[in-house]
Amino acid sequence: VSDGLSERVHRAATNLGYRANVSARGLRLSRTMTMGVVFERMDAPVYLDILTGLTAAADEIGYSILVANADADPDRQRHFVRQMYERRVDALLLSGLRGTVRGELEPFSRAGIPTLGLFGRDRDARDIPVAISPQEKQLTTILARLKELGHRKVMYLGGVGALATRWKILQNAAADVGGLALEQCLMPFETPLPELRDRYAQVFESHRDATALFVHSWNIAAMNAALRVRGETIPDDWSVVTFTDSRYTAALNDPPLSALWIDSVEFGRQTLAIIEDWLAGTPPPSVNLLDLAVWHETESIGSARPR
Amino acid sequence: VSDGLSERVHRAATNLGYRANVSARGLRLSRTMTMGVVFERMDAPVYLDILTGLTAAADEIGYSILVANADADPDRQRHFVRQMYERRVDALLLSGLRGTVRGELEPFSRAGIPTLGLFGRDRDARDIPVAISPQEKQLTTILARLKELGHRKVMYLGGVGALATRWKILQNAAADVGGLALEQCLMPFETPLPELRDRYAQVFESHRDATALFVHSWNIAAMNAALRVRGETIPDDWSVVTFTDSRYTAALNDPPLSALWIDSVEFGRQTLAIIEDWLAGTPPPSVNLLDLAVWHETESIGSARPR
DNA sequence: CTGAAAGCGCTTACAG
DNA sequence: CTGAAAGCGCTTACAG
């Protein structure tokens, strides 16, 4: 066909408002140009960051994203994984895989559809390849730095439940460094601020040999409140480090807190790059370490106060 | 067919791993059981809440959600709206419609596909029906309450840009109440905390007749820091009220802040209910007011300090 | 090079 | 009641 004719036809099609039907094409080609994302839960800003990275990278290669939230319910997780198969997604991303969906994954593996687990730091599941952001290396660096500043006892203020793995990683890093005692104070995430504040104030009183704090971002407000009650300040009385995996919980403290930071948007992007290679014929290894943790030191840490 | 046979066939189908192909069914029925959501941007936790409500309500009626993030780029917004049509979504939800997508909406209106705009509080666009959470009523209540407590000048600490509409609404409410002066201090959201803190400290110094603060949730940390610098406390020196549209930014202050709270998860749910009615044959009015704003008073407000 | 036909996996209307 | 056929909107292999 001549260029001129081709152009005229295209123009006419556009004017008439013709738009190709992607599902019909998908049926014919058995490629839907759609990927499914099933989040085990969606109740923290980090999931929005991951989704932002995933959707941006997917769009770059012409894919759309179907999103589902299992809301911490294994039955719903199974339901959505099955739904993604019924919609014949070309790839499936699963966060927080707990082994509950194994049966529903079978059609995917039989059909050779790429299926990748997204884990911030867990590394137990082995049914399908997983993408993980390791933090051990940076934690070792941080603990060594605290030791250098004279700290000998570090306390972790965290939440019970899903994030307990962080405590394990912290222990491993402390063992690597040596000569550092570690203590934890885990409280349910639902604890009201006044109660959390009073609990922390008690803990600070009864652990006067501790001089440094690791604090989960959800607990920063309560920590600040407890310090205010006790008239203690950062970094004179306590050196403080926080974990953060989201843009929204970072750097809003006074003074800004030293942080072990993971760029979850980038995590989403790199995860999708793994899928892209897989679709192109290169399956990933069973564990994909995305080295995204960054140590950001601020004036919130300093020399250990004398005890 | 007898019940027994039917059951045996179903069991056999399940055992063989048969799963209906939803796109094929969609092609036949010209219903894809899919809805598209195009967010103008996705850089705040409120979008995750809305998405949570939308996906939950969609699943209840058998629909899946395709999600896209235009990342504040009108070209990308157009691109995704077109993409949603090409995928023949049964309904389209658009956040932050700026009139830039008008042309791409034409196929939707021609095909009679429900298309709804999601706006927290804006009410300018009129191309398509919109869902809005009005706040005027509650703001009037709050300002009247502050006046009753002896406050005569209220300051708004906010960010420049999209949320400027909040300032307008605040002014209207103040006009309703009468006898209250209103002042604003708008700063770019990117302002680093120390700069914002110092700026607020200056503002507090130069507006000694103001006794109450409305503060956007992004600016709470800087406000606290400025108060600390000046040795002022809540509610003795300042009565403080915040706006919040997300689970993640609420109630983490000490003392907990009085808040005008919008449940954005519920906003997503109710928005989808509008779509559901529309699909069932009842189109919505051009403006849908979802009355979700709730006034939550805490000890962060009290009598105006003498000036 | 061009155009008509087959077929992707469903559902529904229709004939037997 | 049962079974075969038509057709949704595409793409590709094939015949002309």
Lowest-pLDDT choice from A245-259, B75-89, B286-300: A245-259
**Residue A289 reports pLDDT greater than 60:** yes
Using one digit for the tens of pLDDT, what is the confidence trace for B216-251? Answer: 888 888 999 999 899 999 999 999 999 887 665 656
If pLDDT is split at 50, 70 and 90, which confidence band does B167 have? confident
Predicted local confidence at residue B119, as pLDDT: 80
Instruction: Report angle CA A136, A140, A142 to the nearest 5 degrees.
Output: 115
To 10 degrees, what angle do helices A45-60 and A264-279 make? 40
> Average per-residue pLDDT in chain B?
89
pLDDT (mean) for A205-211 = 95
Nearest-by-Cβ selection for A221 from B21, B51, B252: B252
Assess whether pLDDT exceeds 60 at residue A239.
yes
pLDDT of residue B6: 63
What Rg, from alpha-carbon coordinates, does chain A have? 24
The predicted pLDDT at position B125 comes to 54
**pLDDT band at B164, cuts 50/70/90?**
low
What token pair was written down for B288? 């849908």
Tell me: pLDDT of A7 over 80.
no
Is residue B39 within 8 A of residue B70, CB to CB? The reply is yes
pLDDT at A92: 97
The DSSP-derived string for B189-215 is TT--HHHHHHHHHHHHHH-TT--EEEE
Residue A120 has pLDDT above 60, yes or no: no
Reported confidence tier of residue A164, pLDDT bands at 50, 70, 90: low
Give the C-alpha separation, A224 to A216, whole Å.
12
Q: What is the mean pLDDT of chain A?
A: 89
Q: Identify the pLDDT of residue A96.
A: 79
User: What was the pLDDT predicted at B292?
Assistant: 93
Question: What H or E segment, with its residue span, contains residue B88?
Answer: none
Which pLDDT belongs to residue A80?
97
Is the pTM above the cut of 0.85?
yes
User: Distance, angstroms, CA B25 to C1' D7?
Assistant: 12
pLDDT tens per residue across span B11-47: 776 667 788 899 899 999 999 999 999 999 998 888 9
Using the predicted structure, report yes or no on whether residue A271 has a pLDDT greater than 70.
yes
* Confidence tier at A4 by pLDDT (50, 70, 90): low
**The pLDDT of residue A6:** 63
Alpha-carbon distance A144 to A247, whole Å?
A: 26
Contact B45 A107 (CB under 8 A): no
Strand C–CB B16 distance below 7 A: no
Per-residue pLDDT at A43: 86
Q: pLDDT, tens digit, for every residue of A229-238? A: 999 999 999 9
Determine the distance in angstroms separating the CA of A71 from the nearest CA of chain B, rounded to an integer. Answer: 9
The 8-class DSSP code of residue B159 comes to E
pLDDT score at A256: 83
Taking the CA of residue B180 and the nearest CA in chain A, the distance in Å comes to 31
Q: Which nucleotides of D are covered by protein (CB under 7 A)?
A: 1-2, 7-12
pLDDT at residue A119 in the model:
80
Q: Which residues of B touch A70 (CB under 8 A)?
A: none
User: Residue B58: what pLDDT?
Assistant: 98
Backbone angles phi and psi of B296, in degrees to 5: -120, 105
Q: From the CA of A33 to the C1' of D10: give the distance in Å.
A: 14
Nucleic strand C within 7 A of Cβ B20: yes
The percentage of chain B sitting over the pLDDT mark of 90, rounded to a whole number, equals 66
**Using the CB atom, is residue B1 less than 7 Å from strand D?**
yes
Comparing alpha-carbon positions, the chain A residue that sits nearest to B22 is A87
- The answer to whether the CB atoms of B82 and A193 lie below 8 A apart is no
Q: Beta strand B91-95 with A293-296: parallel, antiparallel or unpaired?
A: unpaired
Give the separation between CA B146 and CA B123, rounded to whole angstroms.
27
- List the structure tokens of B289: 């007011």
**Residue at minimum CA to C1' distance from nucleotide C7:** A28
Q: Residue A12 class from Cβ within 10 Å (0-12 exposed, 13-18 middle, 19+ buried)?
A: exposed
Question: Hey, what are A127's tokens?
Answer: 């049914």
Cα–Cα distances (Å) from B275 to A212, A220, B29, B56, B89, in that order, read 52, 40, 19, 14, 12
Instruction: State the Cα–Cα distance between residues B290 and B135, nearest whole angstrom.
Output: 10
**Taking chain A, what is the end-to-end CA distance rounded to the nearest angstrom?**
86
- A92-110 pLDDT tens trace: 999 977 777 888 999 999 9
> Looking at residue A216, what is its pLDDT?
87
Q: Which residue has the tokens 């420049």?
A: B160
Per-residue confidence (pLDDT) for residue B4, from 0 to 100: 64
A168 touches strand D (CB under 7 A): no
In angstroms, the CA of A28 and the C1' of C6 are apart by 11
State yes or no: pLDDT of A13 exceeds 70. no
Nearest CA-CA partner of A268 in A32, A35, A85: A35
The SS3 of residue B274 is helix
Which among B27, B48, B85 has the least Cβ separation from residue A19? Answer: B85
- Given a cut of 90, whether residue A76 has pLDDT beyond it is yes
**pLDDT tens digits, B99-147:** 778 889 999 999 999 999 998 555 455 689 999 998 899 999 999 999 9
